[in-house]
Amino acid sequence: MNILELHNLKKYFATQKAVDDISFNIEEGGIFGLLGPNGAGKTTLLRMITGIFYPDSGEIILNGKKFDALNDAFNIGYMPEERGLYKKMKIGEQALYLARLKGMSRADAMASIKKWFVKFEMETWWNKKVEDLSKGMSQKLQFVTTVLHQPKLIILDEPFSGLDPVNANLIKDEIFNLAKNGSTIIFSTHRMEQVEEICDHIVLVNKGTKILDGTVHKIKQDFKENVYQLGANILPEHLMTHIFEVVKHRPDRILLKLNDDTRPNDVLKYFINQNVAINSFNELLPSLNDIFIKLVEGTTAARQFQNVN
Amino acid sequence: MNKIGLIIGREYFTRVKKKSFFLTTILVPLVIVGFYAGIIAIIAKGSTDKQSIAVIDEANLFNGKVDSADKAISFTLIQNETENDFIKKYKEKGYNAFLYIPAINIDSPKNFRLHTQSSSSLSTTSSLEDIINKAIQNKRLVAKGIDPKKYEQIAANVQLKNINDSKKDASGNSVAAAYIVSYACGILIYMMMIIYGTQVMRGVTEEKTNRIAEVIVSSVKPFQLMMGKILGIGAVGLTQFAIWIILMGTMNLALPLIFPGMFNQMTETANGVGDASKTAEILAGIASLPLLKIAISFLFYFLGGYLTYASLFAAIGSVVSEDQQEAQQLVFPVLMPIILGFVIMTKAVNDPNSSLAVFGSLFPLTSPVVMMGRVTYDIPTWQLLTSAVLLIGCFLLLTWMTGKIYRTGILMYGKKPSWKEMIKWGFRKS
Nearest CA in chain A to B207: A86
**Measured on CA atoms in the order A124, A129, A130, A134, is the torsion positive or negative?**
negative
- What does each C-alpha distance from A33 to A30, A200, B47, B75 come to in angstroms? 10, 8, 86, 101
Q: What does the H/E/C string look like for B221-270?
A: CHHHHHHHHHHHHHHHHHHHHHHHHHHHHHHHHHHHHHCHHHHHHHHHHH
A211: enclosing H helix or E strand: strand A209-215
- State the pTM of this model: 0.73
Q: Which of residues 48-67 of A touch B (CB under 8 A)?
A: 50-54
**Cβ–Cβ pairs < 8 A, chains A and B:** 63
Q: Which of residues 66-125 of A touch B (CB under 8 A)?
A: 69-70, 73, 76, 78-80, 82-89, 97-98, 100-103
Position B272 confidence tier, pLDDT thresholds 50, 70, 90: very low
Least confident of A29-33, A57-61, A163-167, B250-254: B250-254
Q: Which of residues 4-43 of B touch A (CB under 8 A)?
A: 6-7, 10, 14
CB contact under 8 A, B212 and A73: no
Chain segment A163-174, per-residue pLDDT in tens: 888 888 888 999
Chain segment B69-126, per-residue pLDDT in tens: 666 778 888 877 777 888 878 878 888 888 888 887 777 888 888 888 777 677 778 7
CB contact under 8 A, B213 and A84: yes
Most confident of A40-44, A97-101, B161-165, B412-416: A97-101
B428 touches chain A (CB under 8 A): no
Helices (H), A50-105: 91-101
CB contact under 8 A, A101 and B6: yes
Position B228 confidence tier, pLDDT thresholds 50, 70, 90: very high
CB–CB of A59/A101 below 8 Å?
A: no
Position A53 confidence tier, pLDDT thresholds 50, 70, 90: confident
CB contact under 8 A, B211 and A84: yes
Position B274 confidence tier, pLDDT thresholds 50, 70, 90: very low
CB contact under 8 A, B214 and A80: yes
pLDDT of A197 > 90? The answer is: no
Which candidate in A43, A48, A62, A101 is best for mutational testing of the B interface (most B CBs within 10 A)? A101
Shortest Cα distance from B240 to chain A (angstroms)?
A: 22
CB contact under 8 A, A78 and B14: no
pLDDT of B430 > 50? The answer is: yes
Which candidate in B219, B420, B429 is best for mutational testing of the A interface (most A CBs within 10 A)? B219
Least confident of B55-69, B277-291, B348-362, B367-381: B277-291
- Measured from the Cβ of residue B424, the count of other Cβ atoms closer than 10 Å reads 15
Q: What are the backbone dihedrals phi and psi of residue A23, each rounded to the nearest 5 degrees, phi first?
A: -135, 135
Strand pairing category for A278-284 and A227-232: antiparallel
Which residue among A52, A82, A88 sits closest to B218, beta carbon to beta carbon?
Answer: A52
Work out the percent of chain A whose per-residue pLDDT is above 90.
Answer: 20
Dist. CA A179–CA A176, nearest whole Å: 5
Least confident of A45-49, A59-63, B1-5: B1-5
Nearest CA in chain A to B225: A101
Which candidate in A12, A15, A44, A52 is best for mutational testing of the B interface (most B CBs within 10 A)? A52
Position A91 confidence tier, pLDDT thresholds 50, 70, 90: very high
* Side-chain half-sphere CA neighbours of B6 within 13 A: 22
- What does each C-alpha distance from B166 to B178, B349, B378, B379 come to in angstroms? 15, 18, 9, 12
Shortest Cα distance from A70 to chain B (angstroms)?
A: 7
CB contact under 8 A, A73 and B6: no
Least confident of A267-276, B274-283, B327-336, B409-418: B274-283
CB–CB of B273/B43 below 8 Å?
A: yes
- What average pLDDT is seen over chain B? 80
Which residue among B6, B206, B210 sits closest to A97, beta carbon to beta carbon?
Answer: B6
Shortest Cα distance from B230 to chain A (angstroms)?
A: 17
Question: Terminal CA-to-CA distance of chain A, rounded, Å?
Answer: 37
Dist. CA A81–CA B323, nearest whole Å: 22
Nearest CA in chain A to B206: A86
For residues A190 and B212, which has the higher predicted lDDT (pLDDT)? Answer: B212
Least confident of A117-131, B111-125, B388-402: B111-125
pLDDT of A47 > 60? The answer is: yes
B218 touches chain A (CB under 8 A): yes
Which residue among A54, A76, A83 sits closest to B218, beta carbon to beta carbon?
Answer: A76
Which residue among B211, B217, B221 sits closest to A83, beta carbon to beta carbon?
Answer: B211
Work out the percent of chain B whose per-residue pLDDT is above 90.
Answer: 17
**Measured on CA atoms in the order B219, B222, B226, B228, is the torsion positive or negative?**
negative
Query: Which pLDDT value is given to residue A112?
Result: 93
Shortest Cα distance from B218 to chain A (angstroms)?
A: 6
pLDDT of B281 > 80? The answer is: no
- Contacts with B212 from chain A: Cβ below 8 Å: 84-86
Q: What are the backbone dihedrals phi and psi of residue A90, each rounded to the nearest 5 degrees, phi first?
A: -65, 145
Render the burial of B15-53: b for 16+ CB within 10 Å, e for the rest: beeeeebeeebeeebeeebeeeeeebeebbeebeeebeb
CA-nearest of B64, B69, B82, B77 to B128 is B69
CB contact under 8 A, B430 and A103: no
- Contacts with A86 from chain B: Cβ below 8 Å: 14, 206-207, 210, 212
CB contact under 8 A, A84 and B215: yes
CB contact under 8 A, A84 and B210: yes
A188 touches chain B (CB under 8 A): no
Query: Which pLDDT value is given to residue B171?
Result: 45
pLDDT of B229 > 90? The answer is: yes
Which one-letter amino acid corresponds to residue A143? F
Dist. CA B189–CA B187, nearest whole Å: 6
Find the mean pLDDT for residues B329-333.
87
CB contact under 8 A, B3 and A103: yes
Query: Which pLDDT value is given to residue A304?
Result: 62
Strands of B51-57's sheet in order across: B73-77, B51-57, B97-101, B113-116
Dist. CA B102–CA B58, nearest whole Å: 5
Strands of A244-249's sheet in order across: A244-249, A253-258, A227-232, A278-284
A129 touches chain B (CB under 8 A): no
What is the number of helices (H) and of strands (E) in chain B?
Answer: 16, 4
- Measured from the Cβ of residue B408, the count of other Cβ atoms closer than 10 Å reads 20
CB contact under 8 A, B214 and A76: no
Least confident of A99-108, A271-280, B164-173: B164-173
Query: Which pLDDT value is given to residue B148?
Result: 82
Which residue among A52, A88, A102 sits closest to B411, beta carbon to beta carbon?
Answer: A52
Contacts within 8 Å (CB) and 24+ apart, A191-197: A191/A158, A191/A160, A192/A35, A192/A287, A192/A288, A192/A289, A192/A292, A193/A287, A193/A289, A194/A160, A195/A33, A195/A35, A195/A288, A196/A287, A196/A288, A197/A172
Shortest Cα distance from A49 to chain B (angstroms)?
A: 9
Question: Terminal CA-to-CA distance of chain B, rounded, Å?
Answer: 21
Chain segment A3-24, per-residue pLDDT in tens: 889 999 888 887 778 888 899 9
Which residue among A82, A83, A101 sits closest to B220, beta carbon to beta carbon?
Answer: A101
- Contacts with B199 from chain A: Cβ below 8 Å: none
CB contact under 8 A, B218 and A51: yes
Work out the percent of chain A whose per-residue pLDDT is above 70.
Answer: 96
Which one-letter amino acid corresponds to residue A169? N
Query: Which pLDDT value is given to residue B138?
Result: 84
Query: Which pLDDT value is given to residue A144?
Result: 92
pLDDT of A201 > 60? The answer is: yes
Length of chain A: 309
Nearest CA in chain B to A46: B218
pLDDT of A263 > 90? The answer is: no
Q: What are the backbone dihedrals phi and psi of residue B264, each rounded to the nearest 5 degrees, phi first?
A: -60, -45
CB–CB of A236/A297 below 8 Å?
A: no
pLDDT of B168 > 60? The answer is: no
CB–CB of B424/B332 below 8 Å?
A: no
B221 touches chain A (CB under 8 A): yes
A308 touches chain B (CB under 8 A): no
Least confident of A176-190, A232-246, B324-338: A232-246
Helices (H), B49-144: 83-87, 122-143
B217 touches chain A (CB under 8 A): yes
Which residue among A70, A76, A84 sits closest to B221, beta carbon to beta carbon?
Answer: A70
pLDDT of B46 > 50? The answer is: yes
CB–CB of B394/B308 below 8 Å?
A: yes
- Residue A27's DSSP bridge partners are A2
Strands of A209-215's sheet in order across: A76-79, A153-157, A184-189, A31-35, A201-206, A209-215
Least confident of A230-239, B3-12, B245-254, B292-301: B245-254
- Contacts with A60 from chain B: Cβ below 8 Å: none
Query: Which pLDDT value is given to residue A84?
Result: 82
**Measured on CA atoms in the order A101, A107, A113, A116, is the torsion positive or negative?**
negative
pLDDT of B11 > 70? The answer is: yes
Dist. CA A199–CA A132, nearest whole Å: 34
